[in-house]
Each structure stands twice: as C-alpha cells, then as structure tokens.
Chain A
Amino acid sequence: MTRYLNPLRNAAAAAAATALLLTSTGCDVDLALLRGAPEPYNFPAGDPSDPYYVEPANIHQMDLQSLADAANNVPAATLKGLYVGNPADIATDTVILYLHGNANSMNAFWNALRQMANLGGHHRYGVMCYDYRGFGNSEGPSTGTASMRQDLHAALQWLKDRGLTSDRLVVFGNSLGTLPGAQEAGEQGGPLKINKLVLECPQSNSDAFFQDAVGLSVPSSLATDYAFDVDGNMARYPGALLWMHGMDDDVAPIDNAKNLYAAHQGRFKRAHLLAGVGHNIRGGWGAQNWGDAILDFVARVD
C-alpha cells in the first residue's frame, strides 16, 4: 500500500506547492488589459491649413489628482491630462470628455481629439482627455472598475472646478473607454452627471468578453476581478446615447453590443452600425462621417 501512496503523495504535494506558489502571484488578465506605457507626449498643432488645426495656445497639459478609494484598496494617484481649448471658456463652452481606448497613451488619439475640437467650427468645442492610471505618464496601475471610476471623477472634478455644468458635458468612450464611461453613466455618482454619452465600439460585459475567448460558460472571475458591465449600466442610464459600431469588429463583437443598446431606455438613443468597418470606426467610416455623426448628436440632441 505504501508503495502506491508514495508517488501519489509526492505528486500531490508537488502539485499543491506549485498551485499555492502560483496563486500567490495574483495574476489577472486586467494586468495586461489595463496597462499602457510611458512615452513623451506629442500633441502637434499641425498646419494652419489643416481642417483640424488647433492653436498651440489651446493645447494644455495638466495634472489631475485621482483620489484614493480605501474601501476598494485604490490609492491616490496623479494623472496626466490634456485640454484642447481655452480653459477660461469652460464655464460657457460645451466640453467633450474623451475616454480613450487601449493604447500606450493619449498620443494615439490626438487626431480624433483635435478633430472633435473643430467639429462645426474652429475650436467650437473644448475637448478633454486623460491617461488612466498606468497609461502614458500617469501613475499606475489601473486595477479595475474602482480605479477607473476614481480617475474619471478626477477629470470631472477638474472640469467642474472651472465652471462646467452637466448640461454642457458630453462623455465619449472609445473601446476601453466605454467601460468607465458606461459605468459612470449608470452610477451617476461623480461630480457631474452624464446626460450625453457616446459609445464607440463598446464591449458588453466581462463574462461575455471572456466566454468569447474560452467557448464555455465560464465566468470572468476565473481570470480577472475586472467585472465590467456596460449592458447593466446602460439599463440604468437615463440620458441620451449615441452608439457607433463596425459590423466587422473583431475586438468588440457587434452582436454582444446590441444588447447594451437594447437595454438602454433613456430619453434618446441613436445607432450607427457600419458595414465593412472594424474596430477603428474613424478610420473605417471616414473622419468626415465620424465627425458629422458626433456633431449631429452633440449639437442637435437636447
């Protein structure tokens, strides 16, 4: 009997030790999904003949103080932010807060930001963007819904401190940015309420995201504690929604995203479902069409 037990006991002990060692590493998919990379910021004004030219004096970089959330083990952090426009006009301007997608930093979204600033006229809108914790030169790391919420609140507080009110705020979420954007729209717990929300190629929820990769009915908690729920938040969001999605999107499947649009029962919603377009809406649809759709929503929807 002993000769049977020894190999089993040794194998079990080795396996248990290995498992314990690895579980102590706390590996989480969001370690990779919620991480950019530091890089020098580069926001060139462009050529004055460029339709999306921005005045150099209207490119402002600032630090944002993202507060701690002790209940969720989130420390305070300093974020790097960008405002395109004259901060002195925030008290009267309409401002688009752009929550960027998964890239090293907001550098990758500069062309979209400067186009937004010029929708419907030169420097018609103020545009704000910031790097989440762990992206660009913001302190890190992002760890999930709680840290993303604190970062978004920091940006909203910065705008509120300069006179922005909820009726002149538009929140634009691109891909990864749809997660904190939708979350705040559903919770409405920040310094400013969200009444206009744009979701560009959004994910649906973390379980669907993970099941698409695995194929089984596994919950996302088997690999991550980042439990995002865009569908659920859209069901709670009372404001106006613009949804743009490429029908060939192989990063955020459109069939999943249709559920968040169906769930939204707020005061207004509009969808642009784009044949032949992938995850890069602006590139695939064309910057002009993209800008026209946003301008129509920002300027004409009450």
Chain B
Amino acid sequence: MKHKNLLLGLAAAALLTGCNAARVVAPLDAGEWRVGGALGGPQINTDRLPLISVYTAHGATEKRTDYVGLQVVSAAFQTLHLDAGSLRRVSSGGGVGSWKPEVNAFGGGTLLVGLRDGATRIYPNAGLHTVWSLPLGFKPYAGTDLWLDPTYRLAEFSQGTLLHPNLHGGLRWIGKHLEAGVEAKWLNPTRTFMVPQQTVPTFMGTGARGLYFTLAYRIP
C-alpha cells in the first residue's frame, strides 16, 4: 500500500513550493552559458523522490545572471512546469578563504499549466544566497527562498497561505568546464504535508526536507 501512494507523493513533490535546487548561487561570468540538471527531492518515508529538472543560465553581465528551468517530472503528470528568474550580486565577498560572504539576491517565478484543462498558476519567489569562496573552486552557501501564493484564496476550505518560505544550504564546485553541487532544503517550515499512507519526515515537526544534486556544463 505504501508504494501505491508514492506516485501521489512524487506528483505532490514535483509541485511543492521551492522543491528544487538553486539554479545558480552566484553570477556567472559575463557571456557564459551554463546548461545543467538537478536530481533529488523531498524525503518520503525513507525514500528520496527522484525529481528531475533541467535548466539553462546565462551571465548577462558580471553581476547578473538569468536562468530558466523545466521540471521534467511534472511533464509526466501532464503539467508544464517552468521556472525563470534573475540573480544579481548585492555585495561582493572577501575573496577566497575570507569569512565575508558574497551576497546574491534572486527573484523570479514558477509557471504551472495543466495540460488536462489549462489550469494555470503562477508563484513568484525571491530570496538570497550567501556564498563563501574556498580554494579549488568550492563554494559553500546558505540562503532563503520565499514563495508567494497569489491565489491562496482559491485553496480549499480557506487553508491557503500567502507566504511559503524555504531554507537551504549547500556546496557547489565550479571547475573549468563543469559545475557540480549538493543542496539540502527545509521546505516550507510553516506547513505540514500530508501524503496519504506515507510519512513525510520533517525538521522540528514541520515542513519537509529535501536533498538535491546538480550538475552543469559551462560554455564560455
């Protein structure tokens, strides 16, 4: 029985607020393209759901990077699920080995379009990444990602909420041609998630916890 409802868990996770790794945590080099994917998702029971997304990012300037992504698993459930946004450097860090982090702000949104009936939702989001630089191209980071649900009044039984915060931390390695990373997230700690006949592990009793792996190819 538990495995039967994992499909619901997978669909729910794919559409869960903030359920993805950060596309980029620091601006790309000006003119650089990065094409990559992310694998991972929230934990349900003892399993980690294998959500897959692909994205591309472009360094518009030295301080600004634009990105767009596609959640692949949502497509399997007949939903077009796109995210797009822009990240901008707010303050430069202290350089390699410094405790002073680089701070980058990002904003964007997620578009969901159901292919069954055309149902459409848009969820804007914004947040911050604080990024440190270590030798050999390693960049640990931590940050927040706040989602807004402008249609929260459409939720059944007045159970919707406007704000959906997420917290995350991770590590990226940026080489000459590749970027790889791992990111942990505390998904929406203001809510509890109910997937019938499944257990959704939480931090401190609320939200869900996700783990994601990213890999991208750098195109100068």
Residue A215 is within 8 A (CB to CB) of chain B in the complex = yes
Do A10 and B15 contact each other (CB < 8 Å), given the known contacts A19-B70, A22-B76?
no
A217 touches B4 (CB 8 A): no
Contacts of B219 in A (CB 8 A): 7
Contacts of B155 in A (CB 8 A): 211, 216-217
A29 touches B121 (CB 8 A): no
| Chain A window 38-63, contacts with chain B (Cβ cutoff 8 Å), 1 for yes, 0 for no | 00000000000000000000000000
Residue A292 is within 8 A (CB to CB) of chain B in the complex = no
Nearest Cβ in chain A — how far from B143, in angstroms?
20
Chain A contact surface mostly:
helix
Complex Cα distance A77/B135, Å?
A: 66
Interface positions, chain B 46-83, Cβ under 8 Å from A, are: 54-56, 58, 70, 72-80
Complex Cα distance A205/B156, Å?
A: 9
Nearest Cβ in chain A — how far from B55, in angstroms?
8
Residue A32 is within 8 A (CB to CB) of chain B in the complex = yes
Residue A15 is within 8 A (CB to CB) of chain B in the complex = yes
Contacts of A125 in B (CB 8 A): none
Complex Cα distance A279/B142, Å?
A: 40
Contacts of B96 in A (CB 8 A): none
Do A15 and B70 contact each other (CB < 8 Å), given the known contacts A103-B1, A222-B119, A251-B196?
yes
Contacts of B180 in A (CB 8 A): none
Contacts of A255 in B (CB 8 A): 157
Residue A293 is within 8 A (CB to CB) of chain B in the complex = no
A213 touches B157 (CB 8 A): no
| Chain B window 81-119, contacts with chain A (Cβ cutoff 8 Å), 1 for yes, 0 for no | 000000000000000000000000000000010111101
Nearest Cβ in chain B — how far from A20, in angstroms?
8
Which among B6, B11, B79, B160 is the interface contact of A217 at CB below 8 angstroms?
B160
Interface positions, chain B 140-176, Cβ under 8 Å from A, are: 147, 149, 151-157, 159-160, 164
A218 touches B112 (CB 8 A): yes
Nearest Cβ in chain B — how far from A142, in angstroms?
12
Contacts of B70 in A (CB 8 A): 15, 18-19
A213 touches B156 (CB 8 A): no
Question: Interface of B with A (CB < 8 Å)?
Answer: 1, 4-9, 11-12, 15-17, 31, 33, 35, 54-56, 58, 70, 72-80, 112, 114-117, 119, 121, 123, 147, 149, 151-157, 159-160, 164, 188, 191, 193-197, 219
